Amino acid sequence: MSYARAQNSHVTAAGTTFAYRELGPHGGIPLILLNHWGAVLDNFDPRIVDGLARKHRIIAIDYRGIGLSGGLAPVTVDEMARDTIALIHAMGFNQVDLLGFSLGGFVAQDVAMKAPDLVRRLILTGTGPAGGRGIDRVGAKSWPLMLKGLLTMRDPKTYLFFTSTANGRQAASAFLKRLKERTAERDKGPAPRALLRQLKAIKAWGRQAPQDLARLHMPVLIANGDNDIMVPTALSHDMARRIPNAQFVIYEDAGHGGIFQYHADFVIKALEFLAH
């Protein structure tokens, strides 16, 4: 089974029907995937999901109000974290591993702060801490590059997630092709209102008081590109300093989507991290 063929499933939690896809062997601790601003199930990199699913049960979810999930998109990370905790319980799990990318990394941190016993291991990619400098400017940085995408007839992720070097452009093109591998039963794209509501949550996370990351006692793997223009790379360094059991990977000549550009290496590192 590959992620491109995984079926769309639903579970009801916190009064909402959430959409998810799962694959990989049952048994052991499942790995829950939490994705970026505006992302639906089709925005998870199939190479990363398939690679991780060789050893782990993988569950990718749509946030409330996004894609095939019901309800209205929350305007705070706090609410998204509460939804995620309710979802994990509704699926009957007592403990999970979490992988959060970008906004998903904010949610993953908040879940781990709220329910530390629920999270065995935490992977934070292309993300930053609460109160992180520059996070409240994600929208301001993104709109011009989204417009550039429209004008050049390219997917804005080309500019938002990857560097403008030859390597970056090649990686962007390969990543965007992979996202189109699924042809049947694709997810619904995000509504503009949901995008704006999630952006409010991102802005609020950037402006809220910092969390005491020293309270995260589970092992944490942090990964990013060396040139993340969406959630500045400096914030990954900041988290690595503040979290007691953090491992840290920085990919060269890579942006926000460093883990997509170096997906083969990232899968190896993530599997190694989750194996202990």
pLDDT (tens digit per residue) in 160-210:
999 999 999 999 999 999 999 999 999 999 999 999 999 999 999 999 999
Mean pLDDT, the chain, as a whole number?
A: 97
Regarding pTM above 0.75, the answer is yes
Contact predicate 135/70, CB 8 Å: no
List the structure tokens of 249.
């990977």
Q: How far is residue 15 from each of residues 11, 72, 178, 190, 193, measured CA to CA in Å? A: 10, 12, 34, 20, 21
For residue range 212-239, list pLDDT tens digits in order.
999 999 999 999 999 999 999 999 999 9
| Mean pLDDT calculated for residue range 24-52 | 97
- Evaluated on CA atoms 168, 44, 52, 226, the torsion sign reads positive
Pick from 59, 50, 49: nearest CA to 84 = 59
**pLDDT of the residue at 1:** 85
Query: Structurally, what CATH architecture does the domain formed by 3-275 represent?
Result: 3-Layer(aba) Sandwich (3.40)
pLDDT surpassing 90 at residue 276: no
pLDDT surpassing 90 at residue 74: yes
